[in-house]
Structure 1
Amino acid sequence: MSPLFRVIIILVCLGTSLFLHRSIKKAKMRIEESIFWLLFSILLLVFAIFPFVPDFMARSLGIYSTPNFLFLLVIFILLLRLFHTHVELGKLEEKVNRIVQDMALKERKEREREKHLETEQEDSQ
């Protein structure tokens, strides 16, 4: 891994950490959501500080260059994150559908109750 590439990774990791800190402070991001990005940034920072680790991993997997290994790793991790996000989104959509259905049933029951009261009042007159 070239020294320039290592410096770029370190700068991006530090920038990411500052951005996460500022986003959490301004309440634009929850701490739970930022943990993934912080751990991801730390992993890349470790790889930049100790370049023999990704070099060894790349050679062990038969990947020709360390940057190719890093790009492959980043793509894989982000795909896993995307899958997790879609699973969570599906759960939230299901909750919204259930809430909407419950509200619709309650409104229907309320309208039927009002209609029933109106017919009782008409009958009593």
Structure 2
Amino acid sequence: MTLLFRIILLAVCLFTYFFLHHSIKKEKMRIEESIFWLILSLLLLFFSIFPGIPDILARLLGIYSTANFLFLFVIFILLLRLFYVNAALGKLEERVKTLVQNEALRDRREREKESKTGETKE
């Protein structure tokens, strides 16, 4: 891993940390959501401080260069994150659908009850 690439990784890690800190402080991001990004940033920071580890991992996996290994590693981690977010989104969509259906049934029952008693809702 070249010195320039290590410096870029360090800069990105620091930027990520300050961006997360600012986002949490301004309540634009919850702490739970930022943990993933913080861990990923710390892992890349670890790789930039100890470049021998990604070199060894790249060689073990048969990847030509360390930079290619790091890009592949980050892409894989982000794909896992995307899968997790999509699964959570699907659950939330089902919950919203159930809530909307329950609210519609409740409204219908109230209208039927009002029509039976002859009262109008104001």
- Name 1:114's counterpart in structure 2: 114
Residue type of the alignment partner of 2:71:
F
The C-alpha deviation readout for 1:13-46, integer Å capped at 9, x for no partner, is: 0000000000000000000000000000000000
Over the residues paired in the alignment, what is the CA RMSD in angstroms?
A: 0.9
TM-score (structure 2 length as normaliser) = 0.96
What is the TM-score when the length of structure 1 is the normalising length? 0.94
For residues 69 and 8 of structure 2, the distance between their equivalents in structure 1, rounded to whole angstroms, comes to 16
**Which residue of structure 2 aligns with residue 8 of structure 1?**
8
Q: Once the two structures are superposed, what CA deviation does each residue of 1:84-107 show, in whole Å capped at 9, x if it has no partner?
A: 000000011111001100000000
After TM superposition, the structure 1 = structure 2 runs for residues 1-125 of structure 1, keeping only pairs within 5 Å, are: 1-118=1-118
**In structure 2, distance between residues paired with 1:61 and 1:91:** 36
Amino acid at match of 1:59: R
Structure 1 distance, partners of 2:116, 2:39, is 60
**What is the rounded CA distance, in whole Å, between the counterparts of 1:45 and 1:118 in structure 2?**
70
Alignment-mate amino acid for residue 78 of structure 2: L
Q: Aligned with 1:14: secondary structure?
A: helix
CA distance in 2, matches of 1:2, 1:85: 34
Following TM superposition, the consecutive aligned residue runs of length 4 or more in structure 1 with deviations greater than 3 angstroms are none
C-alpha separation in 1, matches of 2:114 and 2:33: 46
Runs of 5+ unmatched residues, structure 1: 120-125
- How many residue pairs align between the two structures? 119
Query: Which 5+ residue runs of structure 2 have no aligned equivalent?
Result: none
Q: What is the one-letter code of the residue matched to 2:22? A: R
Q: How far does residue 118 in structure 1 lie from its aligned partner after superposition?
A: 1.4
Alignment partner of 1:10: what SS?
Answer: helix
